[in-house]
Structure 1
Amino acid sequence: MHRIFSVLYKEFLQMRRDRMTLALVFMLPMVQLLLFGFAIQTEVKHIPTVVFDQSLSYESRELLDSFSASGYFDMTYVVNSYADVNRMIDSGKAKVGIIFPPDFATSVNRGVPAPVQVLVDASDNMVANQAIAIANAIGLIKSQEVVAQKFHLSAPPYDVRVRPWYNPDGITAYYMVPAILGIVVTMTMVIMTSMGIVRERERGTLEQLMVTPIKSHELMIGKILPYIVLGYIQITIALLVGVIVFHVPIKGSLLELYLLTLFFITASLGLGILISNIAKTQMQAMQMAYFVFLPSILLSGFMFPRDAMPRLIYYISNVIPLTYYLDIIRGIVLKGIGFSYLAGQVLFLLVFSLVFLTLSTLKFKKKIA
């Protein structure tokens, strides 16, 4: 046990001397949460819109008011020809174009379908999907209002009541901030630990450890424990920023979140140490760490829903520890669920931790031999 504490003490001294490490620990979660929390928004509002109204009637203005009142469309430009609409969209000044035909009001008053053309710049897929969905919804709502007036109905013929759970207002920060926390921990644990043993080998301090009577598993424990402490410091800072700045509600148990986070931290650390045992230089370790880091962002469900991925990619994402931690942290923070619902995810992280740490220990033991 005293040998483990000896390694621990040396590792903490090394971290204390390494100011970059301390800066990463304290500043990385805060900076990334503030940057990505404000920057990443799945709901796109205030889309610049160009209008070509050939009707110039009360009916066309009423529909335009509905588009404006939604908050998703800003009537930035009013033009007098199709060519102007095309020019605005081609130049990127407008993302949406709304065109009313000359007989729009006549068609509405006669009770026949009145066409309204909505042009959407689909070069930005997220903006296009949002604009198309909102435009269709506005058209449906206004159609129901006209039908109700024509047939003197006191209410729409259908009463569909949608009740979104867990995030009823659709606030992106509630969904993204917990996921960013997982990204920060992945980045720090994998990249920092992957550089650890390689750095010591290059500096010659690893050979000093090899001649001591310390065992390989004791060395691994001594290397891992300081980073576990740093991981929890980062999580605490990130949660404080999420609650204070973005008002993210934590509906579940914080104690349970901290306990289950341990499995994710150890899995990430085991992967980082395994990389550091394989790599021969710090540059190789950095490249291998980013090779793990980028799939963690793209395939774990952080940015894109896994259910929409091709089956092969979906199965590949099952070998990424962050995939399971996102279910854990979003489940506890947003849904308030407990361990009974998350046992499968915890089991997978436990398996990852055991596999990575065992391989790391065996690989390091072979290097000593």
Structure 2
Amino acid sequence: MNPMRTLATTGRVLTQIRNDPRTIALLLIVPSLLIGLVAWIFDETEVFSDIGPAMLALFPFIVMFLVTSIATLRERRSGTLERLLSMPLGRGDFILGYTLAFGLLAVIQTAVAVGYATLVCGLEIEGSVGLLFVVAIADALLGTALGLLASAFARTEFQVVQFMPVFVFPQILLGGIFLPRDQLPDALEVIGDWLPLSHAIDALDAVSTGNEDDAYIWLRVLFIACWIVGAVIVGSLTLRRRTP
């Protein structure tokens, strides 16, 4: 991989997104609106205090997965990727460039979502807001990495959506949002413990309640980071030049 080519890919992706207001709105505004909707639904109860951190993990993760996977797939279907790879640009440069571009957007998205949840929706954070920000960024980057991985296997935008039951839904069901994982059947608890979104939810809950020390939270961030690196590597190895 070449750093200059990677950064050039990052700049090209950011330029494309800058000229697409709908994608910008989807990335930066929609997660906060969904979090606000959940807070409004439970306005007269204490429920949002319990599920708010999980919503910070869930909505940015899903949005980043969808936008990244579809954007990458369009590069391949339009023939842009084939033209780029006919030049000195390698697959690793392409994947890492996309990761950096959407990673930067994930940082901005996280800042907006965390700020909205805490300042507007009244989500109380007992732990460090900075650490909450770090975990939320890792979670959004996880959605980006899994989106890149899904795009390597999909042939159409519809197939990307079909991959959601594989990449996203099991993590939502087994992540502890609906039922604590220690109350799940033993086999499902084990599976849930190995899914990265579960650790993002655990870490955000821990920061929110202040019930765990920083080492507990950083260990979960490290677990998420391993998933991100693995997804990027597998995505770069399996990326095809053009969809048949």
Q: What TM-score results when the alignment is normalised by the length of structure 2?
A: 0.88
Give me the whole-angstrom Cα distance separating, in 2, the residues matched to 1:199 and 1:350: 26
Deviations 1:184-225 (A, max 9, x none): 121112111111221112222111211121122221121011
Counting only pairs closer than 5 Å after superposition, residues 265-284 of structure 1 correspond to structure 2 as 265-284=140-159
Is the 8 Å Cα contact of residues 27 and 64 (structure 2) preserved in structure 1? Answer: no
Shift of 1:274: 0.9
Matched, 1:15 2:17: yes
Matched, 1:26 2:28: yes
Identity of aligned residues (%): 25
Q: Name the structure where strand makes up a greater proportion of residues.
A: 1
1:24 maps to amino acid: L
Structure 2, unaligned runs of 5 or more: none
Is the 8 Å Cα contact of residues 17 and 23 (structure 2) preserved in structure 1? Answer: yes
Deviations 1:301-328 (A, max 9, x none): 1222212211111122123211000111
Structure 1, unaligned runs of 5 or more: 44-170
Aligned to 1:165: none
Q: 1:241 to 1:178 in 2, by over 3 A?
A: same
Q: Name the structure where helix makes up a greater proportion of residues.
A: 2
Alpha-carbon RMSD across the aligned residues, in angstroms, is 2.2
Give me the whole-angstrom Cα distance separating, in 1, the residues matched to 2:62 and 2:165: 9
Aligned to 1:58: none
Which one has the largest radius of gyration? 1
Shift of 1:37: 1.8
Higher mean C-alpha deviation, range 206-215 or range 256-265: 256-265
Aligned to 2:179: 304
Counting only pairs closer than 5 Å after superposition, residues 131-210 of structure 1 correspond to structure 2 as 171-210=46-85
Matched, 1:319 2:194: yes
Is the 8 Å Cα contact of residues 152 and 235 (structure 2) preserved in structure 1? Answer: yes
Shift of 1:12: 0.9
Aligned to 1:216: 91
**Secondary structure, counterpart of 1:214 in structure 2:** coil
Give me the whole-angstrom Cα distance separating, in 2, the residues matched to 1:35 and 1:193: 24
Give me the whole-angstrom Cα distance separating, in 1, the residues matched to 2:119 and 2:225: 32
Give me the whole-angstrom Cα distance separating, in 1, the residues matched to 2:48 and 2:131: 22
Deviations 1:46-99 (A, max 9, x none): xxxxxxxxxxxxxxxxxxxxxxxxxxxxxxxxxxxxxxxxxxxxxxxxxxxxxx
Give the number of equivalent residue pairs: 240
Q: What TM-score results when the alignment is normalised by the length of structure 1?
A: 0.60
Higher-RCO chain (CA-CA 8 Å, sequence separation at least 6): 2
Counting only pairs closer than 5 Å after superposition, residues 1-369 of structure 1 correspond to structure 2 as 1-40=3-42, 171-335=46-210, 337-364=212-239, 367-368=240-241
